[in-house]
Structure 1
Amino acid sequence: MSCCAFGAVAAEYAPRSGWPSDQEIRLASRTVGEDLLQTDLSVPSAHCGGCIAAIEAALTPLEGVVSARLNLTTRRATVKWRKAGKAPPLFQALAAAGYDASLFSLDEPETNQEMRRLVRATAVAGFGAFNIMLFSVSVWSGAGEGTRHLFHILSAVLAVPVVLYSGRVFFLSAWSAAKSGRANMDVPISVGILFALALSLHDTLRNNPHAYFDAVTSLIFFLLAGRTLDHMMRSKARTAVLGLARMMPRGAAVVAPDGEVSYKPLQEIAPQERVLVAPGERIPLDGVVASGSADVDAAIVTGEAASLPVKPGSSVLAGMLNLDGSLEVTVTRPVADSFVASIARLMEAAEHGRAKYRRLADRAASAYSPFVHALAMLAFVGWMTATGDWHRSLTVAISVLIITCPCALGLAVPMAQVMAARRLFERGIALKDGSGLERLAEVDTVVFDKTGTLTLGDPRVTDCSVPHEHLAAAAALAARSRHPAARAVAALAEGRLDVEEFREQPGLGIEGRIGSNVYRLGKAEWVRSQGEASHSGTDQGSTLTCNGEFLGSFSFSDTPRLQARQAVNGLRAAGLEVEMLSGDRREPVSRMAAALGIAAFRSGLLPQGKVTRLEELARNGRRTLMVGDGLNDAPALSAAHVSMAPGNAADIGRAAADLVFFGRGLMAVPDAIAIAATARRLVHQNLALAIAYNVLVIPVALLGYVTPLMAAVAMSLSSILVVANALRFPSMRGRTVASEGPGAPVPIALEAAR
């Protein structure tokens, strides 16, 4: 539970054997762009916000490095660098900054050595502290001089092993920082522990009336208890992702082109290979069903309870459970880019954001290290000048050194963010950037795209006047197009007629020859014309002609996304303005707005028009949340104050969004805003607690009214109080998501997380 301060990084790196070579680093890296590689490093000695600043500052200036981010929960540094030229000296830079590192590997076994080390150290410190406290009670109660001296000797016998064993958690960190020229917050803690122990041993040998073995051991115990709680809390926040990863198989049965079946580890399975998935097995990798049909349980991926039927051509994701039937799946992504890996990276990315409050807390914590030492020295000099009593002066200085450690300030923001990221994940929402959570809590206006966001983007034919004998021709023609309205027409008839001379006019319609007849399907003015027609028109459906003769028309309506009306009502009840922006015609936009209760809407907007509207709202002082899904929404998602996209959105839309939700229900939007508001409230409370604590205790400590024991208890309890306050984050488990039925499309893996 230390708060490391920012420090300078050595410019020169001494040569050392054992560091990975350029080839090893490249093999362990993965491509994330045309000219970029990403290397993941395990940095086990990283502990807090100050470590984030120090590690990122050590890696970012290296030649070829584009970005460097540290995830504190996993203690993993992600470095993106240009593949041209040699690999940057990542390990040398971290060593110069005082951190040991290694290449992160997905094959590493799940271990909890850090947790076991903290538990053992805390247990030893607790045993010593509580026994010494019993001796101290006797001393405080007025024990005679001989008894008091005996109890001090017994306390020393207990305290020295506690300091040597349990205190090494702080000593090693402080020594590592000191060697690299940094001053982290384990430095004043270590100095305070050693000074208090030395002073207590001195007083015990001289048979003085006071000794502070209880303060030394209590300080170590409470600090370790807080650090253990911090570790448990961070691990708990990732339980859902880790649980999904543990349930995944280590390998899969691969079908070779000649039909031979062999078992391969997932890491060795490449795209386009086919894997067998038996009933009761989880789908190991993202892919497309090549043969077989079955119902799959997608709850672990989408959060929905209803099973999902899949058949040849259906997209499936790693983690889905095959309930019945045998499937043969063509792999489309390697294990490192699978849905499970992408979700894990998104969860980790939530801690990478350098939000305003977190930057403020990190700067304050980093500035505190020299401040604490200066204040303790000032207390010693002041009391020496006033009293001439070095013993009293040193006691006050030790108390000031201990009580002013800003551990609570360093924990105030990340603890609330970690819990918020967990709650979002429970609701099927992935947070890509910690700063997005802060911006989400500030929104006062929610702007929705229509097609694909408020609606499913999957129109259905609601009225058809085409004669039945021509439906097969219309369906065959429509099946050649990817337009949503054409897909709706194609679903009206089974079987397919041969279509020749197929041609599609964007924004107008499609035409093709079936036998000796030429069919046209699209805008009325175009299908009836022999030449080109304009793109204008107010028709609300599609007209079918055969050799220029009118046959009939189709009318369409889009299906509102599940919980759309409920989500809009919830946002309005929370005092937020709701607006809809769409590139569609005014008639369908106005109908959808009326159906959902949205008063403000704009239609016929190009992507730049949506951006212009968001900029207009920003100039009027509005802070907008943009919710969109398509390629044309990407500029608006980037321009908004904060943005969300559904998991089945276009790749570029997910890449531009700050949050991604996986279910089809829109209640994810008000849920995310509520979680963000709760996180902001807890951050404010934690910062207020941390600042109020220091404002109150510093004058009292400087005046000499605080003993080292009181300082140890007060400082430790302030940190534990901040963590406990973050643990009050309300759970969302009691809320349910409406079942979306077996027709729910499968969300594809998150490219944005790569």
Structure 2
Amino acid sequence: MSILGRAQPVASEAVSAAGCAHCGARLAPGQDRFCCAGCEGAHALVAGLGLSAFYARRETEAGALRPETMVAGLDLAPFAEQLRDGTQRLELVVSGLTCGACIWLVEQALAAEPDVLSARASLSARRLTVTWRGEAARANDIAALLGRLGFRVAPWSPACLRATEDAEGRALTRALGIAAFGSMNIMLISVAVWVGGDMGPSLRHGLHWLAAMIGMPVVLVAGMPFYRSAWAAIRAGRPSMDLAVSLGVLATAAMSLSETLRNGPYTWFDGATMLLALLLAGRVFDRAARRRARQSVAELLALQEGMVTRLLADGHLEAVPAEAVAAGDRVLVSAGERLRLDGVATVDALLDAAATTGESVPRLFAAGDALPAGAVNMGAAFTMTVSAAAKDGSLAAMARLLERAEQAKGRFVAIADRAARFYVPVVHLVAAATFLAWWGLLEAPWQVALVNAVCVLLITCPCALALAVPAVQVVAVGALFRRGVLVTSATALERLATADHVVLDKTGTLTEGRSVLVPDAQDDVVLCRAASMAKASRHPLAQALVRACPDAPLAEGVREIPGQGLECGAARLGSPAFCGLGASADGMTMVLRDGDAAPVSFRFADRMREDAPTAVAALKSLGLSAELLSGDGEGAVAAIAWQAGITDWRSGVDPVAKQARIATLRDEGRHPLMVGDGINDAAALAAAHVSASPAGATDLAQTASDLVLQREGLSALPAAIRIARRAQAIARGNIGFSLVYNAFAVPVAAVGLVTPVIAAVVMASSSLIVVLNALRAAKD
């Protein structure tokens, strides 16, 4: 039974003394557990679903999940898309997703619905994709359920995501402006106190009060980004570095206020406000760096934003958003216009696909070819038939793969997360021990002891553990995408960096996968006769024969004998054995035998990709040994291996043998990189240490691969290995830098050799160092 319309009993949890049991907002006098009826209902809903563990894990800002902040909902039924199997799919942008616990709550709450087939949320994109059986109107029920939990929803679009990010950025920048303005003014007051050696107590006391009047509001308002995060961490039972910052700033301000009240000689309002300004500046720069690191997804989705010109059935044109166009619609693509959607060309079209594949030269697409979204029309205007809506197109699919690769956790990220969780409580213990040692053992004034403890809290920096390692992964994934390599696995970069042997398929990988007729002394009449018969077959060699003589008319009465050839009266066209000759060693020969006339042979070749020899040489220069496995005949494989510079090759290898060879290499302790494009390569691709498929590979091969080469050729593969190795080296370097930095900085702060301001400067600098170091992963 659905829980959407079912009342839930209130869970019997302990009353939260700090705030609302659901959203965490401060309780007004007379309120017991909840700040409003909406939170009470949401809490009951969570308890009824058996998801109360959410409250122990979340890191949501206090009050952010209050259901009463919801705006009256938009009718979402028109935004639901019916799939081919009759199910409905809806994509929403969800406000309030701030941590993994929120993702868990949303997905589990929707999974409890009996008609919901899947619910997947993305934290970085704040996108929720839900599929269900039933009517489109259920979209509003799903939105209502999320609203009762305190999440605000809207139809998903890149514009919605940018609006949310801009709002967060403005709030952070506003806090920085307040802190910077306050710190500069308080610094002027502090300079007057410092240089006024003969200043009377009354004047000094008045300046302290003036500094307090400026400093306290600044500390309370500008520090809210840290305080909210710290409070969320406390409620979740997981101390964070924002808690250390908050304690340090508030302790410094409280100590300064105490000194002001007792007319002490010194206050530290300048240090507290300057500390906030520096930390907020670091946070702004850090956010900008992370946004730059993740801009690949935003840039990709931006390619499909905008208006397109749709052709109506009556011949008229109308401008509509790209999201409103469905598969089967016809659109006009003007000269210089970017294709917002995938389609099929009705005429030949010259397109620049550099935005998605990295190809530097425009490519000519023939009529009937699939046209990729994101390409730019470099020729005359043409019409195309849309093959997929924006949500189902290649750009959206690539964006989802990028999001998955960026968010999923590899080995370094998982280790860093565990280390950061252990590291933060230790820092607080060290700070407490510093205070007790100075105050109790050294008998220093409590103000001095507190300043040193605050310095310990502020100078620590686990950024390489908590941020810079994931940033390296995001930067590297984005850099590879811009070079035409799509990373589809979370651990692909780590495994690619350790590859030491490459196994290459031949057809479609080292070669273009498109046979061409070898120029010979064939009679034009004979060639035309053969091409006329070949038009009745879809065999690759027959189609190559047709391409060699495209004007040949279609012969009548042609009968195809599968696996052998074609018959048309007394004429036969097919394999040498079918035509009464010996079997071909390479399978790349067709013979025409027309009655009693002498048989004529047509030889074909699968052309080597132009960059294949260079790519193989580059892989060898990186320390990888190369091997060629192919199911083709010995002659064809030997020729391609010689041209590519590969000495280790095998012919006649079936899919089972390919997989067995990969297993043998792994048993020998090797780390094989498998590169293949066909259905027959899928098993070997899945079994390899790491795998890649070239442009034009089958869907099955691309699904089994860790990397997909979007541009034609193999030249991007050596670059991908170099970037992967650089990324892993940078990740290890960031972890090492963090450990060395903290091992040196914490003792220096504990013995009282730094002030809070200096500690903030050092900590902010170290944060920027590891983030900027992570951005180096984008270099080849």
TM-score (norm 2): 0.81
1:632 aligned onto 2:692: no
Match of 1:119 among 173, 183, 186: 173
- Per chain length, whose mean CA-contact separation is higher, i.e. which structure has more relative contact order (CA < 8 Å, sep 6+)? 1
Amino acid paired to 2:412: Y
- Residue correspondence of structure 1 range 285-300 to structure 2 within 5 A: 285-290=341-346, 292-300=347-355
Amino acid paired to 1:669: L
1:328 aligned onto 2:375: no
Once residues 151 and 244 of structure 2 are traced to their aligned partners in structure 1, the CA distance between those partners, rounded to angstroms, is 19
Q: Secondary structure at the match of 2:665?
A: helix
**Native 8 Å contact 1:623 1:641 kept in 2:** yes
1:498 aligned onto 2:555: yes
1:520 aligned onto 2:520: no
Match of 1:581 among 605, 618, 629: 629
1:693 aligned onto 2:741: yes
Match of 1:108 among 145, 150, 160: 160
Where structure 2 has 5 or more consecutive residues not aligned to the other structure, the ranges are: 1-51, 59-64
Amino acid paired to 2:530: A
Counterpart for residue 756 of structure 2: 708
1:274 aligned onto 2:326: no
Q: Secondary structure at the match of 2:380?
A: coil
Change (3 A) 1:154 1:21: closer
**Native 8 Å contact 1:465 1:553 kept in 2:** no
Counterpart for residue 304 of structure 1: 359
Counterpart for residue 652 of structure 1: 700
1:424 aligned onto 2:480: yes
Change (3 A) 1:377 1:646: same
Change (3 A) 1:306 1:730: closer
Q: Secondary structure at the match of 1:252?
A: strand
Change (3 A) 1:463 1:500: same
Once residues 604 and 472 of structure 1 are traced to their aligned partners in structure 2, the CA distance between those partners, rounded to angstroms, is 33
Once residues 145 and 255 of structure 2 are traced to their aligned partners in structure 1, the CA distance between those partners, rounded to angstroms, is 39
Once residues 141 and 8 of structure 1 are traced to their aligned partners in structure 2, the CA distance between those partners, rounded to angstroms, is 57
Match of 2:606 among 555, 558, 567: 558
Change (3 A) 1:103 1:219: farther
Counterpart for residue 441 of structure 1: 497
Counterpart for residue 129 of structure 1: 183
Q: Please identify, of 484-493 and 664-673, the stretch whose mean Cα deviation from structure 2 is larger.
A: 484-493
For residues 687-727 of structure 1, give each alpha carbon's deviation from its aligned partner in whole angstroms, at most 9, with x where no partner exists. Answer: 11111122222333344444333332232222122112223
For residues 170-212 of structure 1, give each alpha carbon's deviation from its aligned partner in whole angstroms, at most 9, with x where no partner exists. Answer: 2233334445565443233222222221111111222223332
Match of 2:221 among 165, 185, 203: 165
**Native 8 Å contact 2:675 2:693 kept in 1:** yes
Counterpart for residue 605 of structure 1: 653
Once residues 691 and 475 of structure 2 are traced to their aligned partners in structure 1, the CA distance between those partners, rounded to angstroms, is 21
Once residues 620 and 35 of structure 1 are traced to their aligned partners in structure 2, the CA distance between those partners, rounded to angstroms, is 47
Counterpart for residue 737 of structure 1: none
For residues 229-274 of structure 1, give each alpha carbon's deviation from its aligned partner in whole angstroms, at most 9, with x where no partner exists. Answer: 2222233235566456546562323223443433332222211121
Q: Secondary structure at the match of 1:610?
A: helix
Amino acid paired to 2:547: A
Once residues 700 and 552 of structure 1 are traced to their aligned partners in structure 2, the CA distance between those partners, rounded to angstroms, is 88
Once residues 240 and 57 of structure 2 are traced to their aligned partners in structure 1, the CA distance between those partners, rounded to angstroms, is 21
Match of 1:337 among 384, 389, 392: 392
**Native 8 Å contact 1:293 1:326 kept in 2:** no
Once residues 637 and 40 of structure 1 are traced to their aligned partners in structure 2, the CA distance between those partners, rounded to angstroms, is 34
Change (3 A) 1:705 1:107: closer
For residues 292-346 of structure 1, give each alpha carbon's deviation from its aligned partner in whole angstroms, at most 9, with x where no partner exists. Answer: 4443333333323333334431221222222332312111110112233333333
Change (3 A) 1:359 1:605: same
For residues 12-59 of structure 1, give each alpha carbon's deviation from its aligned partner in whole angstroms, at most 9, with x where no partner exists. Answer: 99994649999949955786999895755445663xxxx3x4444445
- The CA deviation at 1:119 is 2.5
Q: Secondary structure at the match of 1:333?
A: coil
Once residues 425 and 127 of structure 2 are traced to their aligned partners in structure 1, the CA distance between those partners, rounded to angstroms, is 27
For residues 96-149 of structure 1, give each alpha carbon's deviation from its aligned partner in whole angstroms, at most 9, with x where no partner exists. Answer: 7x9876653356384323223323322332333344445555656674564654
TM-score (norm 1): 0.84
Once residues 517 and 170 of structure 2 are traced to their aligned partners in structure 1, the CA distance between those partners, rounded to angstroms, is 62
Counterpart for residue 368 of structure 1: 423
**Native 8 Å contact 1:293 1:325 kept in 2:** no
- The CA deviation at 1:358 is 0.7
Once residues 205 and 12 of structure 1 are traced to their aligned partners in structure 2, the CA distance between those partners, rounded to angstroms, is 40
Once residues 612 and 129 of structure 1 are traced to their aligned partners in structure 2, the CA distance between those partners, rounded to angstroms, is 68
Once residues 708 and 375 of structure 1 are traced to their aligned partners in structure 2, the CA distance between those partners, rounded to angstroms, is 16
Once residues 128 and 380 of structure 2 are traced to their aligned partners in structure 1, the CA distance between those partners, rounded to angstroms, is 40
**Native 8 Å contact 2:536 2:554 kept in 1:** no
- The CA deviation at 1:164 is 2.9
**Native 8 Å contact 1:478 1:487 kept in 2:** yes
Change (3 A) 1:364 1:244: closer
Once residues 711 and 207 of structure 1 are traced to their aligned partners in structure 2, the CA distance between those partners, rounded to angstroms, is 26
- The CA deviation at 1:392 is 3.8
**Native 8 Å contact 1:578 1:600 kept in 2:** yes
**Native 8 Å contact 1:254 1:261 kept in 2:** yes
1:219 aligned onto 2:275: yes
Q: Please identify, of 372-381 and 441-450, the stretch whose mean Cα deviation from structure 2 is larger.
A: 372-381
Once residues 617 and 242 of structure 1 are traced to their aligned partners in structure 2, the CA distance between those partners, rounded to angstroms, is 40
Once residues 29 and 20 of structure 1 are traced to their aligned partners in structure 2, the CA distance between those partners, rounded to angstroms, is 22
- The CA deviation at 1:472 is 2.5
Amino acid paired to 2:55: A
Q: Please identify, of 13-22 and 568-577, the stretch whose mean Cα deviation from structure 2 is larger.
A: 13-22
Once residues 619 and 133 of structure 2 are traced to their aligned partners in structure 1, the CA distance between those partners, rounded to angstroms, is 46
- The CA deviation at 1:636 is 1.7
Once residues 143 and 28 of structure 1 are traced to their aligned partners in structure 2, the CA distance between those partners, rounded to angstroms, is 73
**Native 8 Å contact 1:467 1:551 kept in 2:** no
Amino acid paired to 1:125: A
**Native 8 Å contact 1:253 1:264 kept in 2:** yes
Where structure 1 has 5 or more consecutive residues not aligned to the other structure, the ranges are: 1-6, 733-754
Q: Secondary structure at the match of 2:491?
A: helix
- The CA deviation at 1:391 is 3.5
- Residue correspondence of structure 1 range 75-474 to structure 2 within 5 A: 76-78=126-128, 104-106=156-158, 108=160, 110-111=162-163, 112-133=166-187, 135-136=189-190, 143-144=197-198, 146=200, 149-179=205-235, 183-239=239-295, 242-243=298-299, 245-246=301-302, 248=304, 250-290=306-346, 292-387=347-442, 389-404=445-460, 406-464=462-520, 467-474=523-530
Once residues 175 and 378 of structure 2 are traced to their aligned partners in structure 1, the CA distance between those partners, rounded to angstroms, is 46
Once residues 227 and 258 of structure 2 are traced to their aligned partners in structure 1, the CA distance between those partners, rounded to angstroms, is 21
Change (3 A) 1:197 1:8: farther
Alignment length, in residue pairs?
A: 708
Amino acid paired to 1:163: V
- Residue correspondence of structure 1 range 506-545 to structure 2 within 5 A: 508-513=563-568, 516-522=569-575, 524-528=576-580, 540-545=588-593
